[in-house]
Structure formats: C-alpha cells, structure tokens
Structure 1
Amino acid sequence: MSIRPPLDRINRRAWNSRDALREFTRSKTWTDPGEQAAFARVAVECRDQPLLDIGIGAGRTIPLMMQISSDYTGIDYTAKLLEQSRARFPDARLYHMDARDMSTLPSSHYALTTFSWNGIDCVTGEDRLLILREMSRVTRPGGLILFSSHNRDGPGFRQNIWQLMPRFTLNPLRYGWRILRTLRTFPPASYNYLRHVRFHRDYPGYSIRTAAAHDFGILIVYTTLAEQRRQLASLGLILEAVFGSRDDQPIADDTSTRDVWWFHFIARKPRGSPPQPESK
C-alpha cells in the first residue's frame, strides 16, 4: 500500500522547533547570489507596486521586499515564526495564512508575488500545483511570480547522514572539534533520517527526500528544471529567467546544473489572462 508522504506534519514540526526559530531569526539578507540577482531583475518593474511575500518565516525578506515597495503584504502558515516577524516589523501588513488557500486575498492585484527560500518545496507535488495556481490568481495580468526550488540534479539531493562523519585532518584540534560536532549532530540526524526515509518517493520530474537542514528534520520536493518549466507552462505562465544558487547569471538552456543547489524562477502572468477562481 502506498503511503502519502506527510510533508505537512513533518515540516511544521521542524518550523516550530527551537533550531528553526534560532536559524530564522539570525540577521540574514540574500540566501545566495542568484536570489539577489533575481530580485534585482524584478525590482525596477515592480517599484512602488503592490507586493505579496509568501512564507516570510521570521521576516528575512520583509526589508528586502520593502526596499522595492511599501505596499507590502506578507503571509506565513507557522504561527511562531509569524510572531517573530510581527515583533520585528510591527508596522508591516502580515497575516497567518496557508499559500494553498489565499482566498481572502484579492485576485489579479499584486505586481509581484514571491515565495522564497524554497518554501514551495515543503508540500506535496499536488499541493505545490495549488500554490502556483493561487500565486497566479492573485498576481495581476502582466505581473511577475518569483519562487525558488531545490534542484533534483544538484548536490543537495545527494546528501545523506554519512556526510556528517568527521573528515580527517592532521590538525588534532580541528579533528577533535569535528568529532565533537559529529557526536552532537549524528544521533538526532540519524533518528530523523531513518524515520523519514520510508517516505522517499520518485516521480516523473521530481522526488521527495529528507533534506539535511535541521538535522535531516524536513522532507521536501526536489524538482528538475525541465519539470518546473513544464508545470509553469501548464498553468499558462511564461518563464522569463532562471537563476541558480552559485552565481548571479541566468541559467542558459545548455548549462549543466549539477552544482546548483536550487533554482530561482521568474515567471510572468500573461496580459489578458482570464480571471481565475479562488481556492475553496
């Protein structure tokens, strides 16, 4: 019998952990050069226009987005992280909301809708499609959608618990520190990995795997570039550019992506798009 991977339950538990709260409240700006380049590409067009920021967590992207426009709305489905954002940015318009159902938000309104830090990977393939459809609905015709997603052909997909074993070095102090770090991280990481490995799945164009973040405490989708192109096209969205995690240059069609941890996709909702129904 096939067991549907319980991504929601596993990942919500991780987002509510002390590790996640500590990680997400650190002072961070861009996750990588590709994200910075993708934001720079959309910033001029969306200046002073309505913006929607999905999966804000503890608020990393709020100041980055508000540099583009003060007409800003942010949402997240993890109450603890949203509390952190509200404490840090009390004047921002922030809502507790699930991206799969944003029916309280207006259709065809936002010039830019974003979902950064691979947040869209934390739900099933079916729910991922719901989120993209909702992102398209709330974006105005001619507007932009920006999101990131893990690369199934990249190094993250090949990670496993054995990478936590200490690498040998002739420096005894450094090697001793690596051993102590392994003694601290290996037991919880092994427990999480072995608990989640039964939910690993491979589908045409994407897979579900346990990611190394939070001591292998999350279960996420890894997609191929070709599959994400196909999915966007099926929703009537036009893919304008793809940036990788390694540098600030757009990825060309003939470029190898084996060293790319994740992608940043910029898609456009065509002008003249018919109104889309709200999620039920």
Structure 2
Amino acid sequence: MNPQSQSELDRINRIAWNSPDATREFTAQKTFSDLGEQAAFDWLGPRCAGQPLLDIGIGAGRTIPLMTAISDDYTGVDYTLKLLELAKERFPERDLRHMDARDMSELPSAHYGLVEFSWNGIDCVDYVDRVKILKEMYRVVRPGGYVLFSTHNRGGPGYGENLRQLLPAFTFNPLKLGWRTLRSLRRLQLGTLNYLRNARLNHDYGSYAVNTAAAHNFGIVIVYTTLAEQRRQLAEIGFQRDVVFGSCDGGRIPDDVQTSSTWWFHFIAHKPLAARCFD
C-alpha cells in the first residue's frame, strides 16, 4: 500500500507495531491469546486438518505453532517488516511473506481451507479497509473453507478506556503497590501524550466506533464493533456465519444474542460452495 494513501488511524498503528513495546509484547512466550481463541481453534481443527492455511498478521509468529498443528501446508503474512523478520528467525522453515491484508493479489483465489487473522488485527485499519480485508479473505478462501478473525466489542469493557488505565491498581500489599506505582510512573508521560494526541480520532458511529485503546501506552486507535454490525457485514460480503466465541470465558455466543460483555469476539464463518467471485 502506498504510504501516501494511509489513513491517520493506519499511520498511528504502524508506528505502534514498530515500537519496542510491540516487540516485547509479540515476542513474549504465549500460546492462545484467550479462551475464546482456544475454543475457536478446537472447533476448526478437525474441520481444517491437512488443508492449506493462511495466517494473516502473524507478528513475531505466535500463531504459527497453533496453525501448523492443524496442517503443515502453511503460509503466514504480515505488513510490519520488523516483526516479520523476528518470525522468520524463529521459524526459518515456514513460508512467511511481507504482505498487506488489503491487497493479497499475489496469493491464489479459492485456495485456502482456513484463513485466520488473530489478535484483533482487523480492527487496526479504518472501516473501509476492514471491508477490503474481509473481501480479500473471501477471495482467497476456497468454497466451503473457513475464516477466523477476532474483533473488539463495542459493548465490552475495553471500549472507552481512558487515562485512569494508567493509574496503579490499589492493593493493601505495600510492596505490590510500590511496584505498580513505579510501573505507572514510567508509563504515565508517554501514555498521557499518546492519549491526548490520539483521542481526537474517537468517534461513535452507533453500530461501531473508532477509539483509542490503552494497549501500547495508548499508542493505537482501533475499531470496536457490535455483534449485529459484524454479522451484517459478513453476510453482505457473502460469508455464512458459523459460530462466535467470547474472549473472556470461551463460551459460544448464541445467534439470537445482540449484546455481550466480552472484551472481543472470535468470529468463524465459511464461504458457501456456490460463492460469488471478487476477482
């Protein structure tokens, strides 16, 4: 993507992904991001075993072992070269490519049995580009194949985070309180600066919102969506929705539920066998 065409939201988030804080976060030894992701992989594993897999937004490679446990036919992509190089160092045997999910034209259409975009990566572009990503996921997944992505909940506790998140959580243990205070003081200046600079982009559109988030010292601005809006968007593109898992307890969110208190959702949908074409 041409840097001149980047939105302000996109520009801010790219800076965050290249920061030392992001490097520390994405190289930490983690498996599943939460119980909802684990439930999603448990659901998809037997359905996608042995099929070609596409992993979008791999960062430093957290999801590579999770995906390759399903199938060894694996391709991973990320648009942040710094993080991608870390992933290549860790997994030199894997097919890892520098690529923006909004334009995956070098990948074949109707090929992958599973296309996955984890850790709310789809929330880090504006809403128009979000649609581009979902259309590209639809294009590259084979008829009958699945997509999995996570997205922040407009009705969840993460929406509307503010500078209070920088203050230390109180505890009667003086050692813990002292440590938390020191850690907060280290973050306070940068976090406050980022919040004041980025909060100007906050806007509530009703069915979804754009808002600065506390992660990376308020260094990112992301999309928060509702169940109804994400369901509508998937149907409009042509996907058939299968299941939604909540991040907090990994529970399945029923189709008739309209609101949830979970931090984010894990949506699984599939491309119908008689699918429209975006080529």
Is TM-score (shorter-chain normalized) higher than 0.5?
yes
3-state secondary structure, aligned to 1:249? coil
Aligned residue number for residue 48 of structure 1 = 50
Cα distance in 1 for partners of 2:247, 2:25 equals: 19
The equivalent residue for 1:115 is 117
1:204 shift after superposition: 3.6
In structure 1, the residue matched to 2:247 is 245
SS in structure 1 of the partner of residue 158 of structure 2:
helix
CA drift of 1:181 comes to 1.8
CA-to-aligned-CA distance 1:34-69 (integer Å, 9 cap, x gap)? 101101111111111100000000000001100000
Rounded Cα–Cα distance in structure 1 between residues aligned with 2:62 and 2:171: 36
Equivalent pair of 1:148/1:263 in contact (CA under 8 Å): yes
| One-letter amino acid matched to 1:142 | G
Deviations 1:253-278 (A, max 9, x none): 4557543000000001000213321x
Aligned pair partner of 2:273 in 268, 271, 274: 271
For 2:191, the equivalent position in structure 1 comes to: 189
SS of equivalent residue, structure 2 residue 159: helix
Q: Percent identity?
A: 62
Shift of 1:205: 1.1
Runs of 5+ consecutive residues of structure 1 not aligned to the other structure: none
Please report the RMSD computed on the Cα atoms of aligned residues, expressed in angstroms.
1.4
Partner SS state of residue 156, structure 1:
coil
Question: Displacement of 1:5 after TM fit?
Answer: 5.8
Equivalent residue number for residue 126 of structure 1: 128
Any residues of structure 2 matched to 1:18-57 within 5 Å, and which?
18-57=20-59
Q: 1:170 to 1:25 in 2, by over 3 A?
A: closer
From 46, 60, 63, the counterpart of 2:62: 60
1:135 counterpart residue number:
137
Contact persistence 1:5–1:200 (CA under 8 A): no
Q: CA deviation at 1:7?
A: 1.4
How many residues align? The count is 274
Counterpart amino acid of 2:207? G
**CA–CA distance in structure 2, aligned partners of residues 254 and 270 of structure 1:** 22
Q: Is the 2:36–2:246 Cα contact (8 Å) retained in structure 1?
A: yes
- Relative to structure 2, which stretch is displaced further, 207-216 or 248-257? 248-257
Distance 2:177 2:237 in 1: 51
Partner of 2:3: none
Normalising by structure 1, we get a TM-score of: 0.94
* Whole-angstrom distance in 1 between the partners of 2:260 and 2:39: 20
By how many angstroms is 1:179 displaced?
1.9
1:87 maps to: 89
CA pair 5-157 structure 1, distance change in 2 beyond 3 A: farther
Hey, which bits of structure 1, 4+ residues long, moved more than 4 A?
254-258
Return closer, same or farther for 1:102/1:142 CA change in 2, 3 Å cut-off: same
Secondary structure of the residue that 2:235 maps to in structure 1?
helix
**Unaligned stretches of 5+ residues in structure 2:** 1-5
Q: Is the 8 A contact 1:5 1:199 kept in 2?
A: no
Tell me the distance in 1 between the aligned counterparts of 2:175 and 2:218: 27
Partner of 2:214: 212
> Contact 1:108–1:275 (CA<8 Å) still a contact in 2?
no
Aligned position for 2:230: 228
